[in-house]
Structure 1
Amino acid sequence: MNKPKKMRGKFYFLIIATLIFILCIAVRIPRMDWVVRQMRGALNMACPLQISERTITPLNNTKHLLVSAYMDQRVNGFDVRIIGIFKRDSIQPLYCVFCCPGQLSNTTPATILQHSDNFGFPYVTTDVMCRIPQNCNATHVSLLTQPGGERVFNQTWLPIRNQKTKGKEEEKLQFNFTVCISNLFGGFNNVLQFAQTLEMYRLLGVNRVVIYNTSCGPDLDRLLQSYSQEGFVEMVPWPIDQHLNPSHSWLFSKSGGDVHYYGQLTTLNECIYRSMDRSRYVLLNDIDEIIMPYKHNNLMSLMEMLQQQHPNKGVFLIENHIFPKKPYEPKWGPVPIWRGVPGINILERIYKEEPDRNVYHPHKMIVRPRMVQQTSVHEVLSIFGQTFKVPPDVCRIIHSPISTPTERPLDQLQVDTRLRNFTAKLIPRVNTVLRRAGLLT
């Protein structure tokens, strides 16, 4: 994707070098070191020559991968946070170099922070913290394995995002709620549940959904392209399988592979920083989960109450409740028009399992992104504020997995028809988006 930029950069460099050489001949300058200095100046003026437009960029001379760079001045002594995926047994000293307007900066030593959750996999989500030198209004950053020295022509640069985050008022943010979905892989084609969940979130007040896509089925791709054109969904390409052997599971000892669950931990962190400058709240959950308020009709009313009661809290843990595949409500049945649409109908599921709170029970989260430094799947790893566990009668997750490993008898389940409170608005909306994507006849 970045080949044209690379070729243009080399072309411009050759033109400048040729002009300098011609000038030297014309004025008969004998000192070739002057030519070298001018060529270096031309290179500096053109920095960066190669700007990565990829979501996963290999770091030269290492086994590591870089994802994105963000301005982050919340930690004293640092200005920029680079999110990456590093091989744990191959981490070596690194040095940050910045592109300032018209010149390259001096290198500064990087601080490398491995996230504490790696679930035994060889590769781990990693933050590289950099300090920008004085008098440098940095626009791009790169990492080197040696301090100082000559810059190689094929060095790849990352744009520094969130340049105006510091001091920005929450009231001016673009979105109130962003949902981060990670990750689509394996030709996933559960169209009906996807449409139902996204439209349910829209009814609850979500403004933006970010999805990291390794691969999905053709029908789901049509649906997501339609949502992207509308602007509700932001699709982030995530070709992790082109760089590593990603695991289909969360634990290395059970599945092997290079990285946890197609890099889920990295995408969740990347999504928080991607949303930090534009969204008041971020919801971290999977597509088969709906964070559902039970005492409010939308997420804003819920969060206004929770923030008023708990002003110092930056992370709100939402308890998971599973709605299994069987039994389901036979009288409801699928809406006839949906019979040919791939995927499950979550409106059939009105029976839920009561969690066993005597053992570890996972939660998902609503977070204030600018209070989070690092996150895992079910809890944050580093936070500036505090965490609050939301009572399940106030808000809980409606989790409708495609399948469940065990089937409980009916007398061990509870009836929960909360989703059906929204069907009068939900069903027409689902029909509209499916028809717009050409998935309904």
Structure 2
Amino acid sequence: MVEWIEMNRMLGVSHFYMYNDSMSEELGCILSHYQQQGLITLLPWDIPISIGDRKVVRIRGQFLAFNDCIYRAMTRARWLMIIDTDELVIPRQERQLTTLLDSLVKNYSRADGNAGFIFKNFFFFLEWEDDPVSSVPLLTSRKTRRVIMGTPIPQRSKYIVRPLEIIEPGNHFVWKHVNDAYNSNVPEEHAIMHHYRINRIGKVPINETVVDRIAHRWTKNLWKRVKTKLQNIQCLQIKHLE
């Protein structure tokens, strides 16, 4: 979690909205530290759902959380990114998402109103071997093998949008925009979405994968930030001393 937060901060994210269905004491300690710094808005999300409601209210109200987030951020954020904590949107050329977005607006927007951008999903399965050139325990450094062919948009994709242009967000794409606003699919040479998770799609032949070390561009500074955070989060030190 510390790696995910610090990587996103290096990419230009200034604030996080997170929804807590359940979490461990150690994770609560980490998020409390970031809350005290004003970097996280952590919201309780304990929605009682009966078995009969599960077909209507999916994944413990996940879509409700997306909509809550859009409207909370609407007057505060120029851009809002919807991703999970096992995902990262990684620019292929720029160092930050902010400069990437500026470039995308310039090159891929039409005059009739671009509400945001959709990023293609690529799996980096956790079962695959660690990168032998990785010298640190960061997930983004160790897990560099990915599928060559990403999941077709809008399946598994995630997006960055202007919240004022959105009426109803979904999980992998926006369901309803304001007026005639639209989202553009981002070409893979500009950015992709890294998805670090266990393999649930079956065996993938080695010739259908590739080693992608683009995230290594941030490894040195990211490892410094993660180590510093782990040393400075007081409740973690107290727990380890006990």
Change (3 A) 1:371 1:437: same
Tell me, what secondary structure is at the counterpart of 2:90?
strand
The answer to whether the aligner puts 1:268 opposite 2:66 as a matched pair is yes
Letter in 2 for 1:236: L
Residue 315 of structure 1 and its aligned partner are, at CA, apart by: 2.4
Instruction: Tell me if 1:296 matches 2:97.
Output: no
- Specify whether residues 279 and 359 from structure 1 end up closer, same or farther in structure 2 by C-alpha distance, changes over 3 A only: closer
8 Å contact kept, 1:352–1:415: yes
Decide which of 13, 23, 30 is 1:206's aligned counterpart. Answer: 13
Q: For residues 299 and 357 of structure 1, do their structure 2 counterparts lie closer, same or farther at Cα, with a shift above 3 Å needed?
A: closer
Specify every segment of 5 or more residues in structure 1 that has no aligned partner in the other structure, as ranges.
1-193, 339-343
Task: Find the counterpart in structure 2 of residue 319 from structure 1.
Answer: 120
The counterpart of 1:371, out of the listed 153, 162, 165, is 165
Structure 1 distance, partners of 2:166, 2:152, is: 28
Deviation (angstroms), 1:407: 3.7
Query: Aligned pair 1:361/2:161, yes or no?
Result: no
Per the alignment, residue 31 of structure 2 pairs with 224
Deviation at 1:246, TM superposition (A): 7.7
Residues 357 and 348 from structure 1, CA distance in 2 versus in 1: closer, same or farther, beyond 3 angstroms?
A: closer
Amino acid at match of 1:413: T
Matched AA of 1:382 = K
Instruction: Tell me how far 1:354 sits from its aligned partner.
Output: 2.2
- In structure 2, the residue matched to 1:393 is 189
What does residue 79 of structure 2 align with?
281
User: Counterpart of 2:139?
Assistant: 345
1:26-425 equivalence runs, <5 A: 194-240=1-47, 243-245=48-50, 256=54, 259-309=57-107, 310=109, 312-329=113-130, 331-332=132-133, 335=136, 345-355=139-149, 361-384=155-178, 385-401=181-197, 403-405=198-200, 406-425=202-221
Aligned counterpart, 1:48: none
Larger helix fraction of residues: 2
Note if contact 2:122-2:150 (Cα within 8 Å) is conserved in structure 1.
Answer: no
Q: Determine helix, strand or coil for the equivalent of 2:79.
A: strand
Aligned pair count reads 231
Q: CA RMSD in A?
A: 2.4
Q: Which has the larger radius of gyration?
A: 1
Q: Name which structure has the greater RCO, CA cutoff 8 Å, separation 6+.
A: 2
Compute the TM-score of the two structures, normalised by the length of structure 1: 0.49
SS at the partner of 1:400? Answer: strand
Name the CA distance, whole Å, in 2 between partners of 1:207 and 1:288: 19
Q: Give the deviation of 1:258 after TM superposition.
A: 5.8
**Kept in 1: contact 2:80–2:162 (CA 8 A):** yes
Deviation at 1:259, TM superposition (A): 1.9
Unaligned runs of 5+ in 2: none
In the superposition, the TM-score normalised over structure 2's length comes to 0.87
SS of 1:212's equivalent in the other structure is strand
Residues 328 and 303 of structure 1, relative CA distance in 2, 3 Å threshold: same
Q: Could you tell me which amino acid in structure 2 is paired with residue 322 of structure 1?
A: F
Letter in 2 for 1:307: V
Match of 2:225 among 424, 429, 433: 429
In structure 1, the residue corresponding to 2:171 is in which secondary structure?
coil
Identity within the alignment, %: 26
